[in-house]
Each structure stands twice: as C-alpha cells, then as structure tokens.
Amino acid sequence: MTKEYWINLPIKDLKRSKKFFTEIGFSFKTERETETMTALVVGKASMPIMFFEEKMFENVIQNPISDASKVTELMISFDAESKKEVDEMAEKVKNAGGNVFSEPQAIQGWMYGFAFSDLDGHRWNMLFMDMEKMPK
C-alpha cells in the first residue's frame, strides 16, 4: 500500500527557487536533496513538493514541460492562521520577487486569501478560512 506521496514540479534553477521559498518562510528536507532536486516542505504536512530542474524532470516524465508562465495545470493551496498572516505572506512574496496576481481579499464571505506565481510561474494560493462562517 502507498505510504507517502508528493507533487513534482519542474524548475529552471534550484538555487534560485530555494532562495525564493526560504525568503517567504518555507523550508526543505535536505536529506532528499541532490544537485538537481530538492523537497519543499509546506507547513506541518509530511508530503513534500519536489522541485526538479527541467532537464531532469523531462527525463522522468518523458514528455515536454509546459511553460507555467503561459498555462496553468494546477494551483497549490495552503492555509493561514489569520488574515494578518495572509497579508504578511503577500508582502514576503513581493519582496522575494514573486508575482502576486490576486491581492489579499475576502472570498465568499468566509475566506481571506491571495494568490501568487513563483519564479517559475507555478501558481500558489494562501487562504485563511473562518470555518464558523462557512456556508452550510
């Protein structure tokens, strides 16, 4: 049976991506790191997001890589503990060189969040969810 799973994303430059995600507050599982790949840790989840430099990724998937700055295949979402945390993360992303394409805002009356693209164009979404206000 499956014990663990992870998401794989292609990146152009491992050092540049590590610097960006470190600046916005993420960490990495260094025991899963080589010269061409690393494991990004998102929150307390044990499921890492693996970053592979594009040449290595293409060898694994045996298919062309889409240009994430032009098309979107997925959006990775993660939670926040407060609206303040959302606002602070949006500023960190901007300061680290990411693209905030959806500024922090209220969503459907019970969520507050923002969305950004990382340095390789992958899309991310951070949300604070007030479960007491969630529609039934």
Structural domain spans, the chain: 7-61, 75-133
CATH fold of 75-133: 2,3-Dihydroxybiphenyl 1,2-Dioxygenase; domain 1 (3.10.180)
pLDDT in tens, 5-58: 889 999 999 999 999 999 999 999 988 789 999 999 988 877 889 999 999 999
* Summary mean pLDDT of the chain: 93
133 Cβ contact partners less than 8 Å away, ≥ 6 residues apart: 109, 110
Mean pLDDT of 78-106: 97
pLDDT at 5: 81
pLDDT higher than 80, residue 86: yes
Same topology between domain 7-61 and domain 75-133: yes
In angstroms, the CA 91 to CA 74 distance is: 23
Domain 7-61 belongs in CATH node 3.30.470.20: no
pTM for the whole structure:
0.90
**114, β-bridge pairs:** 126
Q: How confident is the model at residue 84 (pLDDT cuts 50, 70, 90)?
A: very high
Q: Pairing state of beta strands 123-129 and 75-79?
A: parallel
25 Rama class: left (phi>0) / alpha (psi -120 to 50) / beta: left
Laid out side by side, the sheet with 75-79 consists of: 75-79, 123-129, 111-117, 99-107
Phi, psi (degrees; rounded to nearest 5) at 31: -70, -10
pLDDT attached to residue 4: 78
